[in-house]
Structure 1
């Protein structure tokens, strides 16, 4: 049976901290919904009402574009081990970039990842837990290092060039705010 909370209780903060993968969903007012798997130990529970994840450079930047338009975000965690559980965090998020003052406070809390692009800061509005009895078992074998190696090979200047070419607009043409604030 599903349960709702207006915050992220400590026992579920612990659960979130143990997960190796999470899924981020955002949507523009019109256009394509984005649903992305994330990993690399990049999600943090800051407290019962706030969470964040470090977003690294990738093929697109849909989350940032959607957040700049309406802020809506859902993050889902699933247990793939013996104790079934699905946990969803519903909230509003915003992007924090290296140019922003908050970056200096938040970025050191994350593992250093090459190609770090922005931090998504989430104000938690509600949390839902459900049984997860139909989620299959999976065994964790480790993190992929392909993206990190790609970013290291590109170097800081190469990453900026890539971001300018590929990460400034969403697939629906929305501004991501990566190099200049969105309005």
Structure 2
């Protein structure tokens, strides 16, 4: 799935030999056992889709570890739940089935995994009939409206060099009254006061 543009830029920048080694040593057309295990430990994934005109959208999905279900070394699936009704990513898949997924481990090994392929949408009952092994507890109290099934075409590492270390924080109990509601967060004149909770003596 390499593009003419990346090869042209590699020649221009003098990185073609280095890139060729990366393709040969790191890029796979399937999910290795190590990749499958890595995906099964992840609680989030970043998505890249584009519509038929090539206009792009980036999105994010999260759930309990294993919410992205590895079916075998050539396929995986993740659930889509009721949201804001826009369905930007799923809508793009209807027009252009090419989907990019990026899994990043921010807390332990600080490494990422790119998985690219061809996606197809399925209603929950349809995919579950075809694959009875789909997890039933992907989100407590919620049922998927549909699943995105990805036929894997390539998978490769995202190196650890610039991946920050993040420490999971407990979710606060109750809603912070000073924080705008989601629907108003970027549209309301009220702005979150990031410095309000900064400890004394911290950065100015």
TM-score, normalised via structure 2 length = 0.63
Where structure 2 has 5 or more consecutive residues not aligned to the other structure, the ranges are: 1-20, 175-204
Report the 3-state secondary structure (helix = DSSP H, G, I; strand = E; otherwise coil) of the residue aligned with 1:11: helix
* Of 149, 154, 166, the match for 1:138: 166
- Check if 1:17 corresponds to 2:45: no
Q: Is the 8 A contact 1:54 1:110 kept in 2?
A: no
Q: Which has the higher contact order (CA 8 A, sep 6+)?
A: 1
Match of 1:95 in 2: 121
Moved over 2 A (4+): 100-108, 140-146
Higher strand content, 1 or 2: 1
Tell me the alpha carbon deviations over residues 6-37 of structure 1, each in whole angstroms, 9 at most, x when there is no partner: 10101111111111211111101226412111
Shift of 1:84: 2.4
- Check if 1:123 corresponds to 2:151: yes
How many residues of Structure 1 are paired with residues of Structure 2 in the alignment? Answer: 145
The structure that has the greater radius of gyration is 2
CA separation in 1, counterparts of 2:173 and 2:143?
13
- Give 1:29-108 correspondences, 5 Å limit: 29-30=52-53, 32-41=55-64, 42-59=67-84, 60-98=86-124, 101-106=126-131, 108=134
RMSD of Structure 2 on Structure 1 (CA): 2.6
Where structure 1 has 5 or more consecutive residues not aligned to the other structure, the ranges are: 147-183
